[in-house]
Amino acid sequence: MKNKTQYHYRDTLNYAPVDVVKGIDLITKSLVKADDLAPPEYELLPKCKFCKHFSSGANSNYKGSCLGFAKPFLAYPDMIAKTCSSYIKNEHE
Site for ligand SF4 in 57-76 (CB under 6 A): 66, 68, 75
Whichever of 4 and 52 has its CB closer to ligand SF4, that residue is 52
Per-residue binding letters, 21-40, with ligand SF4 (x by CB under 6 A): --------------------
Burial class (CB in 10 A: 0-12, 13-18, 19+), 47: buried
Residue 74 CB contacts under 8 Å (≥ 6 apart), including other chains: 63, 64, 65, 66
Largest pairwise CA distance in the chain: 43
Which residues of the chain form contacts with ligand SF4 (CB under 6 A)?
A: 48, 51, 53-54, 66, 68, 75, 79, 81, 84, 86-87
